[in-house]
Structure 1
Amino acid sequence: MKINKIIIPFCAALFMIVGCEKLDRFPETNFSDVAFWNTETDLITAANRLYQQLGGYAPDNRADDNTNQAINTISTGSRGLPNTDGNWSGPYDMIFTANNILEKGGKAKVTEAIKNRYFAEARFFRAFAYAQLVEKYGDVPLVLKTLTVEDPDLKMGRTSRALVAKAIYDDLDFAAQWLPTRAALPAAQFGRVTKSAAWALKARVGLNEGTRAKFHGAAGWEEHLTILTHNTSRDLENGRIAPTRNLIRQFLYSDGLPAWNSDQTPSATRSAFFVPEGAETSYNTILDNRDPRISTLVYRAGEPSYQRPWVPQTALGSRTAYAGKKGFDPADWAINNSATMQRIHIRYAEVLLILAEAKFELSGSISDADLNATVNVLRIRAGFAPRLTNAFVTANNLSMREEIRRERTVELSLEYFRYNDLIRWKTAEVVMPKDILGGKYIASEWVGTNASALRLNADGVLVVEAANTRTFNPARDYLYPVPLQEITLSDGNVKQNPGWQ
């Protein structure tokens, strides 16, 4: 099957939001429905609420790639049953807003094209919200209308994941039909969703649902992955971050070979540049001779960072002693002693990686031509000379699946993907209960640090969280627990996820 080339110029498929406080009025001022829903401005104002309901940026500390100052109970496997949870209520707030627009926006005295454009925004965000819900909870109530306090559907049970996924695809097909292209979007509306965003989100959901079903033994996984490779027209338009050694190990050396033999491919050829951790002579040793993208992830010791050269330490909010660079704006820090960034929800690199992974998982192979159109595009952009090819994988006893996954982990590092990737690949039970490691302690470089206060392993590497403090229960932890309040409000029709009863 011919794989279609997707072309998205820089920022064309992005929708970017700076998260602020949650607004408690819809949309921004008090008004009555009688006086509203009349003009295009009213539709825009209503749709703006959907953008306000997007989450702001906060580091994701659930997996093995990043830590914060506090221990994350999802990461350690120690979370309990919540009474309420914004991971459930937040998406349903967005779904209510979308349903409200779809039900009442039809009153507006505008053309059908204008009406459908904002209905398309509503359906895009409804799909976005349901994608978040099924990713975490699996089956969830499928609500496609606004609910009054007397509506019996307030107590509906959970809809199967498959039916929710179908509703997501239907919403995104409508959105892709009626949303404008990036080229047609007025400059004043830049940042609003476009056709590109709808296609990209559908690809994300297809990959999530297809690979999760495949590796968790569910039927019908091929259908989701086939969505990504249909031969149809898809011209998509011309703070506290402490990365871990676990993540840094994923970055290839400059010869294209791995630094660390994974659990999946222990026979892989290890790079000649590899230095055993016990033999590292500097904090920077593990960062030397790497894929250039490592230089955008963390600061090297001595490199100008937060208004001064970075000195390895755990005293400035980094429990790993690695200072996160990705997404950090030093100019902003110099002025405000803090850094604010826009959160990018969808970008071109993700689309390319989705295509590469889906192509491989659907057929068990991927051609060099498809690798050149996806993975190697990203390597060329990063200035990383080695190309991923079938011959290179074979010659070095690598696994193509693992190398495609590695590319995703590296390119999309610290962008909210790692935890769900481990979940859908069904590797969390292997990866999560391991030591979380930080920098190599070298006394002459860690100026001002009391070594006796550090927990070091036999190689002198900082142990941030020991394996014996981390668990992952495969019978329970592949899904989030449903908030207890939601079960109560449904009169028990919403059932708890397995293992959380």
Structure 2
Amino acid sequence: MKKIFILLAGIFLMTGCTLDREPETDLADSNFWKSETDLRGACNKLYIDLPGFSHDQRSEELEGKSQNGVSSGNRSVPGTASDWSDPYEKIAVCNNIIAKGKNVPVEQTIKDRWLAEAFFFRAYHYFDLVKKYGDVPLILKAFDTTSDPDIKRGRDPRETVIQQCYEDLDFALQHLPEIDDIPEGDWGRVSQSAALGMIVRIGLYEGTHKKYHQTPGGDYKAHLQKAIDAAEEMIYIRKDHELYQNGFEKLFLHDGEGRQNKENIFVKVYGPLGTINHNNSRELESTVSMTRNMLDNFLYTDGLPREKSQVRPLTDISIDDIFINRDPRLAMTIYHVNEKAYKGPYKPFETNSQNHPFGYAIKKGFILEEDQSNSGSNDKMIIRYAEILISYAEALYERDGSISNPKLDDTVNLLRQRVGFNVDLTNEFVLAHQLNMLDEIRRERMVEFIDENLHYDDIIRWKTAEKVLPVTILGLVYKPGESTKTEAEMVGKITEANGMFKGEKVYDQSNIYVLEEAESRSFDPERDYLYPIPSEEIALSGNNIKQNPKWGNAKND
């Protein structure tokens, strides 16, 4: 399972000098591109450059040690930005492989198998760009001269770029191996399942984005249909995947790695100490915590949300009261008081032992034995089967305005049953309790994928960021005696009677820690749904690239 990235590290070191020395635009490279080994070696770089473990603090889901510029609205036009340059650098690698790989003297089936990896990753990175910037220059060739006019190409419509993503993924789907046919030593390379998973992700994102933002070009239902068709092929036809049943917590640890876990669709594989590692456990220890804003999405054991449940405590007096009669995933995601954690038992409000003492400490994916810098080796799931299920349910509802109980049983209710949360979501339940089916499907997505880098993209495509970001962000409940913090130290930091804070009602109970005040956060719906394009990129294009609405072109505008 870990062999691929040990191998990748070695091959990349051997071939990297050649690839770096020869310009990516040199199509007449006489020192490389001679064999399948060269094709494979070139594709290895695509995996090393995949994003690893990170904790997305751009939404109301997570809180870091300092205020995030995106979620707070405190950002301006940068001169340069890796959000723009990094994907284009990776796209250039893909284009280079596609252009040069076509001329490698091997059988066409072998050639297409490796080109398919480049097509897959080109779609992956273009989708990343579209999510942030909307319309972007669509470059599909490796430049062989600095005078090529496409070097200064303007922005192509997002619909054009997304259609190219589908085309690239269709090629990948035709020529990549099935996931069960990938050799053990190659585990982690993309497969037909990964291509289908990306089509599901892109189709749902673009379909709902187009529906709620009314972006020009194309039909939102056509994108949703793409997602539905790909999901149905995975769920009902191929049946290569299933939910991991050996414990939700273990899913994110070493137990959930490899092909034996059929929930894995697209993963970044890490190796033992000294090869390719990550810093996830240290980051969970020191940088992020879940907010109460997100915690309140977890249902109670009667299947109802906090504002409707008849089995929840009237108020949270003790910190662990949040776990009473709750969706089991909550206790599988964050720590109980005194649970074995980073530097001894978890202690809320303890600034000496944790650097995120005022939010809910996350244990999802944390490995105590790897609680040191850059020693993590558990794999990063980029797409897992649970996402296919919940995305399928959402796409059906967004397309039709309804979803049948059998489809809910095939999707949402499987996720609940996996963790022992045995209250099924049905149309009758929603009607009886005056719920909204779409809200419940979205809720399921939120609680299933805490700290898996999906939520910010979700609130952007749902067009709800303008509602959920510029609000007061809340943390732990404070109870005297549960920490070393005195009541005097909490004055001006927690809600007062009836949830009042500095004259404003921000919640419905007292003693809730205020992480960020609403006054320090902003979101302009006419501007902030798109990132600002770096000013240097605009200048380098000869002003062919135009800035996104309401963003200035200068760093200090």
User: Normalising to structure 1: TM-score of the pair?
Assistant: 0.90
1:488 aligns with 2:485: no
Partners of 1:144 and 1:289 in 2: CA distance: 53
> Equivalent of 1:66, from 42, 59, 62?
62
Partners of 1:287 and 1:406 in 2: CA distance: 17
1:53 aligns with 2:77: no
1:102 aligns with 2:153: no
Greater Cα shift, 228-237 or 406-415: 228-237
Q: Which amino acid aligns with 1:221?
A: Y
TM-aligned CA deviation for residue 218 of structure 1 = 3.4
- Per-residue CA distance 1:121-163 (angstroms, 9 max, x = gap): 0000000000100011000000000123221111110000110
Q: Which amino acid aligns with 1:64?
A: E
TM-aligned CA deviation for residue 300 of structure 1 = 0.8
Other-structure match for 1:226: 225
TM-aligned CA deviation for residue 110 of structure 1 = 1.6
Other-structure match for 2:460: 423
Which secondary structure state, in structure 1, belongs to the residue aligned with residue 319 of structure 2?
Answer: coil
Alignment of 1:362-441 (within 5 A): 362-441=399-478
- Per-residue CA distance 1:76-129 (angstroms, 9 max, x = gap): 011111111111111101100000000001222221111101110000000000
Other-structure match for 1:214: 211
Other-structure match for 1:117: 113
Partners of 1:298 and 1:134 in 2: CA distance: 33
Contact kept in structure 2, 1:302 and 1:311, CA below 8 Å? yes
TM-aligned CA deviation for residue 343 of structure 1 = 2.1
Which secondary structure state, in structure 2, belongs to the residue aligned with residue 345 of structure 1?
Answer: strand
Which secondary structure state, in structure 1, belongs to the residue aligned with residue 514 of structure 2?
Answer: strand
Which secondary structure state, in structure 1, belongs to the residue aligned with residue 331 of structure 2?
Answer: helix
> Equivalent of 1:156, from 145, 153, 161?
153
Contact kept in structure 2, 1:68 and 1:319, CA below 8 Å? no
Q: Which amino acid aligns with 1:50?
A: L
TM-aligned CA deviation for residue 307 of structure 1 = 4.1
* CA RMSD, Structure 1 to Structure 2 (Å): 2.4
Partners of 1:337 and 1:299 in 2: CA distance: 23
Which secondary structure state, in structure 2, belongs to the residue aligned with residue 385 of structure 1?
Answer: coil
Contact kept in structure 2, 1:355 and 1:374, CA below 8 Å? yes
Other-structure match for 1:250: 297
Which secondary structure state, in structure 1, belongs to the residue aligned with residue 155 of structure 2?
Answer: coil
TM-aligned CA deviation for residue 332 of structure 1 = 1.7
TM-aligned CA deviation for residue 449 of structure 1 = 6.3
Greater Cα shift, 387-396 or 23-32: 23-32
Partners of 1:321 and 1:228 in 2: CA distance: 35
Partners of 1:222 and 1:156 in 2: CA distance: 30
Other-structure match for 2:246: none
TM-aligned CA deviation for residue 327 of structure 1 = 1.2
Q: Does the C-alpha gap of structure 1 residues 259 and 112 become closer, same or farther in structure 2, counting only changes over 3 Å? A: same
Other-structure match for 2:522: 471
Contact kept in structure 2, 1:319 and 1:438, CA below 8 Å? no
Q: Which amino acid aligns with 2:440?
A: E
Which secondary structure state, in structure 1, belongs to the residue aligned with residue 447 of structure 2?
Answer: helix
Q: Which amino acid aligns with 1:447?
A: T
Identity of aligned residues (%): 42
Contact kept in structure 1, 2:297 and 2:443, CA below 8 Å? yes
- Per-residue CA distance 1:275-330 (angstroms, 9 max, x = gap): 34xx3220111222111111121101121111411110252221534211111112
Partners of 1:449 and 1:89 in 2: CA distance: 48
Alignment of 1:351-366 (within 5 A): 351-366=388-403
Name stretches of at least 5 consecutive residues in structure 2 with no aligned partner: 23-28, 242-282, 497-509, 553-557
Other-structure match for 2:312: 274
Partners of 1:126 and 1:213 in 2: CA distance: 22
Greater Cα shift, 439-448 or 40-49: 439-448
- Per-residue CA distance 1:28-74 (angstroms, 9 max, x = gap): 22365212111111111100111122122121000001011121010
Alignment of 1:283-302 (within 5 A): 283-302=319-338
Contact kept in structure 1, 2:12 and 2:45, CA below 8 Å? no
Contact kept in structure 2, 1:67 and 1:241, CA below 8 Å? yes
Which secondary structure state, in structure 2, belongs to the residue aligned with residue 464 of structure 1?
Answer: strand
Other-structure match for 1:90: 86
Q: Which amino acid aligns with 1:432?
A: L
Partners of 2:348 and 2:356 in 1: CA distance: 9
> Equivalent of 2:344, from 308, 331, 351?
308
Partners of 2:12 and 2:76 in 1: CA distance: 28
TM-aligned CA deviation for residue 420 of structure 1 = 1.1
Q: Which amino acid aligns with 1:37?
A: W
Which secondary structure state, in structure 1, belongs to the residue aligned with residue 340 of structure 2?
Answer: coil
Partners of 2:140 and 2:458 in 1: CA distance: 28
TM-aligned CA deviation for residue 164 of structure 1 = 0.4
Contact kept in structure 2, 1:252 and 1:290, CA below 8 Å? yes
Q: Which amino acid aligns with 1:427?
A: T
Contact kept in structure 2, 1:311 and 1:447, CA below 8 Å? no
Partners of 1:108 and 1:38 in 2: CA distance: 6
Contact kept in structure 2, 1:123 and 1:175, CA below 8 Å? yes
User: Normalising to structure 2: TM-score of the pair?
Assistant: 0.81
TM-aligned CA deviation for residue 404 of structure 1 = 0.2
Instruction: Kindly tell me the number of residue pairs found equivalent between the two proteins.
Output: 473
